């Protein structure tokens, strides 16, 4: 489980360069960027958020309701 303190400070690494980059926890296993037009989704694997832009890019075309639970291994 990712701590609430960590979730509060994490930001989308792509969006934080020009906007807030806020993330929303989804299914306890995904961090979804809430910035308009972003669509990146970052998996949480073994309680560690994978905050790589390339990883978030892999899931841009997948709707939140279709995200696999648990996230697949890298």
- Spatial CB neighbours of 46, under 8 Å, sequence gap ≥ 6: none
Q: Cα separation of 27 and 58, whole Å? A: 18
Q: Distance (Å, rounded) from C-alpha 18 to C-alpha 64?
A: 23
pLDDT tens-digit series, residues 53-62:
999 999 999 9
Tens-place pLDDT, residues 3-51: 999 999 999 999 999 999 999 999 999 999 999 999 999 999 999 999 9
11 within a domain of the structure (yes/no): yes
Which range of residues forms the domain containing residue 43? 4-63
> pTM for the whole thing?
0.93
Per the domain annotation, does 71 fall within a domain? no
Number of domains the chain contains? 1
């Amino acid at each position: 489980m990712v701590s609430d303190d960590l979730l509060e400070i994490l930001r989308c690494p792509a969006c934080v360069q020009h906007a807030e980059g806020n993330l929303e926890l989804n299914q306890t296993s995904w961090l979804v960027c809430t910035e308009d037009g972003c669509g990146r989704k970052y998996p949480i694997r073994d309680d560690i958020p994978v905050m790589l832009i390339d990883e978030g890019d892999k899931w841009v075309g997948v709707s939140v309701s279709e995200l696999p639970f648990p996230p697949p291994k890298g």
